[in-house]
Structure 1
Amino acid sequence: MLRMRVLGTSERQPARPVLTASLDLAARLPRLILEARRVSASVHGIHGRRRAGPGETFWQYRPLVTGEAASRIDWRRSARDGHLFVREREWEASHAIWLWIDRSASMGFASSLALASKVDRALIAGFALAETLVEGGERVGHLGLTRALASRRIVETLAQAILVDAKGTEADLPPDAPLPRLADAIIITDGLSPAASLAKRIATMASSGARGHVLLIADPIEETFPFTGQAELFDLEDGLSLRVGDAGSWGEEYRQRLEAHRDAIKEACRKVGWTLTLHRTDRPASEGVLRIASLIAASRGPGR
């Protein structure tokens, strides 16, 4: 991740990287969880797959249909009304939905145009999706951190696991392992690791036939590069810096490279049947959450 600093005309010495000041994650988590719940409530009902089928959880009683086996009749319920009823159970698929939320150094960036840092927006989106999906009957887990759970405390479970995962702040790519065949993945990242590396991870994760969705988090300044004058770029993860001269002239080349980088990620997703959604941090978090939840609901299809 490269951060821009515009230099004053009298400045001659190389400047040291200055990270965006932010509170400790533990202090921010309560606010992020509350915001995630607000976002989840705003998209409630878009996703749901509770339907009849094999499983352990009672769903509903319904009248017996002609031709159904007598073994399906719930005789106790039928005796109450003098009609034959079948006890239906929820459909419980063997798959789960796996989140991976990028918390590497580049995700800490927030410009003056953004509503939140990229990492805060990623956590809000991940928590909101987890709650929405669990409410819809799914099991959700975080790759490498938790089991897939259908718990009403899924947000707290994910938050606690992330809080104690110090190594997660160093990884800018999801785990390099195939997902179970019936699984879905939601990768939330700024996508600023090398495109070829991210493409390789996506291919590996999808190699079993698993479906997936990439939610690309971007700061508006990263998109537009609205700088002029002498400037210096800082790599927040490797500690490198680069003076680019006139930022206005260099900006067009930057935007072209960013477009090519995004195209490579988009192509990696297309090859394995995954989706790519771009979400900017100057937009409401609900937009990205609604988009991913809708894509997952659509991928289920009727009766699945």
Structure 2
Amino acid sequence: MVKVRVLGAAERAVGTRHATGALDLARRLPRLAIEARRIAATAAHGIHGRRQAGSGEAFWQFRAFVPGEPAHRVDWRRSARDEERYYVREREWEAAHTVWLWIDRSPSMGYASALSQAPKIDRAIVLGLALADLLVRGGERVGHIGLTNPVASRSIVDRIAEALAADQTPPADLPTPLPLAPLTEAVLISDFLTPAGRVQDAIERMAARGAGGHLVMVLDPVEETFPFEGQAVLADVESSQTLRVGDAGAFGALVRQRLQAHRQALKDACARRGWTFAVHRTDRPASEALLSLAARIAERDAGMAGVRIGGGG
């Protein structure tokens, strides 16, 4: 039988009015922040420039000079090799845009099994902080919805960690669905074990003005596989309700079927707004989810740059 546990309120709470929760946070957050920085630094070596024209420092390519551009942009050494045209040295695009992060800290995120590397809440925090660090390294501005303003500070990990620690509001399973500005992006990290209709409504409201977004569904491997047999008692961590199951093996087939349908509903809700959806299991390295998420952000970033360039006429 696979052992499972659910972190108590003091362990799960990132910000709390209770002294026990604050002491537990003081022990956990520094470790999570260090792990996030390490993962971000490792991932940064595997991520190349975005290869879009702009004001970055790294060379991208030469292109033909366009009449009306400032003459100082001409690369005279390259142009000297061509008798018919002038050339401009283009650099990689590093114009900062805003990414809004949100990390779920609701009760269901405290779930952990013996098959996982970390509780869902710890993995969500590490992934969120690592992503913030990686994005800031790339020149982006990052903020946490409801907690911090977007900044492009190298101390972004500390800023968000401190804001999480100081937060006294009861944790919600979804962020406040306020419309985000056009050309911004939201990254929501949660188990999304809430009705798909509520998640879809949040996406629709946040994307109403054209903002992009990414959902990362963090699950414990036991939640996906439900490897139980015989009699079992299931407890809802969000309430005091319990369910006694006589045949856990047969019940598991129904659980897996419903989870698959729920995931498909979330994926469809994202697709309607051009958002992305991915599942990350806590028995896998956080770096896998970080690299995949960074690639999806960069891909949409490239598309938005094309919209801006094309719209500029």
- Report how far residue 70 of structure 1 moved: 8.6
Q: Distance in 2 between matches of 1:191 and 1:274?
A: 15
- Report how far residue 98 of structure 1 moved: 0.6
- Report how far residue 170 of structure 1 moved: 2.1
Q: Distance in 1 between matches of 2:107 and 2:255?
A: 20
> Aligned pair 1:140/2:127, yes or no?
no
Q: Distance in 1 between matches of 2:6 and 2:66?
A: 69
Q: Classify 1:251/1:49 alpha carbon distance in 2 versus 1 (closer, same or farther; 3 Å).
A: same
Q: Distance in 2 between matches of 1:210 and 1:166?
A: 28
- Root mean square deviation, CA, Å: 3.1
Aligned partner letter, 1:223: E
How many matched pairs?
A: 278
Secondary structure of 2:208's counterpart equals coil
Among 5, 20, 30, which residue is 2:7 paired with?
Answer: 20
Aligned counterpart, 2:157: 155
Q: Classify 1:289/1:66 alpha carbon distance in 2 versus 1 (closer, same or farther; 3 Å).
A: closer
Structure 1, unmatched stretches of 5+, are 7-17, 79-85
Aligned counterpart, 1:193: 194
TM-score w.r.t. the length of structure 1 is 0.81
Aligned counterpart, 2:268: 267
Aligned counterpart, 2:251: 250
Aligned counterpart, 1:83: none
Counterpart mapping for 1:1-304 below 5 A: 19-20=6-7, 22=11, 24-44=24-44, 45-46=46-47, 48-49=49-50, 53=54, 59=57, 73=72, 93=95, 95-167=97-169, 169-301=170-302
Q: Classify 1:50/1:147 alpha carbon distance in 2 versus 1 (closer, same or farther; 3 Å).
A: farther
For the 8 Å contact 2:54–2:93, the answer to whether it is kept is yes
Q: Which has the higher contact order (CA 8 A, sep 6+)?
A: 1
Q: Distance in 1 between matches of 2:239 and 2:172?
A: 13
Q: Classify 1:148/1:87 alpha carbon distance in 2 versus 1 (closer, same or farther; 3 Å).
A: farther
- Report how far residue 35 of structure 1 moved: 0.9
Q: Distance in 2 between matches of 1:41 and 1:152?
A: 12
For the 8 Å contact 2:181–2:211, the answer to whether it is kept is yes
User: 1:232-286 CA distances to partner (integer Å, 9 max, x unpaired)?
Assistant: 1111112221212221121111111111111111110111111111100000000
- Report how far residue 173 of structure 1 moved: 0.6
Q: Distance in 1 between matches of 2:96 and 2:290?
A: 24
Secondary structure of 2:246's counterpart equals strand
For the 8 Å contact 1:96–1:140, the answer to whether it is kept is yes
Q: Distance in 1 between matches of 2:34 and 2:156?
A: 13
TM-score w.r.t. the length of structure 2 is 0.79
Q: Classify 1:300/1:250 alpha carbon distance in 2 versus 1 (closer, same or farther; 3 Å).
A: same
For the 8 Å contact 2:50–2:92, the answer to whether it is kept is no
Aligned partner letter, 1:185: A
Percent identical among aligned pairs is: 52
Aligned partner letter, 1:110: A
For the 8 Å contact 1:5–1:231, the answer to whether it is kept is no
Q: Classify 1:258/1:106 alpha carbon distance in 2 versus 1 (closer, same or farther; 3 Å).
A: same
Q: Distance in 2 between matches of 1:224 and 1:29?
A: 30
Q: Classify 1:244/1:136 alpha carbon distance in 2 versus 1 (closer, same or farther; 3 Å).
A: same
For the 8 Å contact 1:94–1:182, the answer to whether it is kept is no
Q: Distance in 1 between matches of 2:92 and 2:143?
A: 20
- Report how far residue 146 of structure 1 moved: 0.7
For the 8 Å contact 1:59–1:88, the answer to whether it is kept is no
Secondary structure of 1:98's counterpart equals strand
